[in-house]
Structure 1
Amino acid sequence: MNEPVNSTILLLDIERFSDRDDVEQGYLRRMLYDLTDRALLAAGIDETRRRRADRGDSVMELIDANASVTALLRALLTELPAQLRGMNRQASRSAQMRLRGVVAAGYVAVDQHQGWVGSDLNHACRLLDADLLKEALRERPDDFALCVSDAVYQGIVRHSHVGVPSEEFHSVTMDSKNGPLAAWLHGPVPSSDSLMKTSSAEGGQSPVEAVPSLPPGADRTPIIGGVFGGTNHGIAGGTFSGDFHFGGGTDRGDRR
């Protein structure tokens, strides 16, 4: 396995992907790839500065740490929503796409099977799957909900660079199967009542209420890994198939 390398992590996930038929899923995957490429190019990040993994209903990007995170966030807050609205206006209702997104940063290693390994990556994936982010998207009239890790907020967002207004991000604690995770949600925070209803409908445990995140340096619950399967394509070429592991846990459920 290669040594861990510091990277910016971008995750984008299609809402209710498994509810669609095969034709619709194929269309949505093409649109997701196209949308991701456009957003990254708008941020000045071409294919030579990123590596991609395919998760079926979502996409993972490891981005060169020297690429501008500010430009990436600006593109995710402006270019991506605009492109998504345009795509959805031209699509039938069953083929419209709504997305959850996460931007994080940390050290990720690539093993001999082209699998990605790292607790920072595990953390980002847990944020993407958190009930609070899912409910934030459900409550919004627009088609995109974004959260960032505490490290990205502290390093970039809180300084209110042009196009990245810090006042639009809210400190939250995301519930996950590995415990509470600190993050910053762009836009309104879902109410506790709506989160409780979502958890009951899905047969899960009661989620943690949206509260201020832990202060810098505070102890945080360790995050274990997961697995996903299918055929995965590297951005620089090559294909790898089968279960794809990052860390020590296992997660074979559908992603929503």
Structure 2
Amino acid sequence: MNHPERRLLISVDMERYSRRGNVRQYEAQQAFQQLLHEAATAVGLDRISWKTQQAGDGELAILPADAREPQVIGRLVPDLNRRLRHYNSSRLPEARVRLRVALHQGLVHLDGANGFPGTAVIEVCRLCDARQLKKALTLFPDAGVALIVSSGIYREVVSEYPEELRPERFRRIEVHLPDKDFRESAWICVVDEDLSAVPTEMLLAEPTPGPGQPEPGTSSEDGPALPGTTAGGADPAGAINVGGIRVVGQNAVGHGAMAIGSIGEDANFGGEGRAR
């Protein structure tokens, strides 16, 4: 066993990946790798030198020993966010690629037989699973990246060398995963959005079903969009609101749509639509 090395670690996870069909998963993987490679190249980072552990919906990356943390955190993440926003602007909500990104640093073994042993690796992956981070990304439908950094990274890098990030828009949270016996403080932001204006209770609220999400009583990792982001008819999640009626389904129109609201008992939407 070789001695562990202190490295910068990145864990990336794609929002709602498992809810996509096979073709959409394939396309999302292609876009993820291409956009991350382009963002790294644009800020002077060599992706080939990264040690990675791949997953279908993201990756764990161990950066080279000479990686400059302000460059990675303050420039790579904002550039990746811009590219994702541009990519998503011409796609339906179910085809968009949005990422949760976690950054931490610590000792890691690079010669593991089945991955990268080290408590720092476990911590960065746990941070990426923070409920508040998942919720924060759902609150801003146009965002590309929700970022979480460990307390040390925030104190030593974000606060001192923010580059393109805005430290005042970060929120301190407590990440608690009881089933993993994990509790740590961390800082989160949604890149190019002002998360500081979101009430704390909204970040801690239990997720509720949105369009295309499971009905109550089934599992759901994400919550609804931030109230107030709807103007007039269509909301960012793809639903259409008309008075007290909310129509949801693919593009909120056509075969398989569903209307929810207070309407007459004899209402009929035809096809497989349902009126409630």
- Cα RMSD (Å) of the superposition? 2.3
**Deviation for aligned residue 1:86:** 1.6
**Deviation for aligned residue 1:146:** 0.5
Task: Look up the match of 2:263.
Answer: none
Distance 1:42 1:4 in 2: 30
Distance 1:136 1:98 in 2: 12
1:49-77, Cα deviation, whole Å (9 max, x unpaired): 31111111111111013211111122344
Alpha carbons 1:146, 1:186 under 8 Å: kept: yes
Q: What is the number of residues matched between the two proteins?
A: 204
1:139-164, Cα deviation, whole Å (9 max, x unpaired): 11323210111121121111144323
The aligned amino acid for 2:204 is L
Distance 2:203 2:50 in 1: 37
- Structure 1: where are the runs of 5+ without partners? 205-256
TM-score by length of 1: 0.72
1:13-64, Cα deviation, whole Å (9 max, x unpaired): 1111110001100110111111221222233220353111111111111101
User: In terms of mean alpha carbon deviation, does 112-121 or 15-24 score higher?
Assistant: 112-121
**Deviation for aligned residue 1:193:** 4.5
Alpha carbons 2:11, 2:59 under 8 Å: kept: yes
Distance 2:203 2:112 in 1: 43
Q: Which runs of 4 or more aligned residues in structure 1 lie more than 4 Å from their structure 2 counterparts after TM superposition?
A: 199-204
Task: Look up the match of 1:218.
Answer: none
Distance 1:2 1:58 in 2: 27
Task: Look up the match of 1:30.
Answer: 30
Alpha carbons 2:78, 2:165 under 8 Å: kept: no
Identical amino acids, percent of aligned pairs: 27
Distance 2:70 2:203 in 1: 32
What aligned pairs does 1:69-108 form with structure 2 within 5 A after superposition? Answer: 69-108=69-108
TM-score by length of 2: 0.67
- Structure 2: where are the runs of 5+ without partners? 209-215, 221-276
Pair 1:61–1:179, CA change in 2 (3 A): closer
Alpha carbons 2:132, 2:203 under 8 Å: kept: no
- Residue 173 of structure 2 corresponds to residue 198 of structure 1: no
Task: Look up the match of 1:180.
Answer: 183
Pair 1:80–1:18, CA change in 2 (3 A): same
SS at match of 1:84: helix
1:59-103, Cα deviation, whole Å (9 max, x unpaired): 111101321111112234421111001211233433211111111
Pair 1:24–1:67, CA change in 2 (3 A): same
Larger Rg: 2
SS at match of 1:110: coil
1:163-204, Cα deviation, whole Å (9 max, x unpaired): 233212222111213232111112415632553322896779
Pair 1:173–1:202, CA change in 2 (3 A): farther
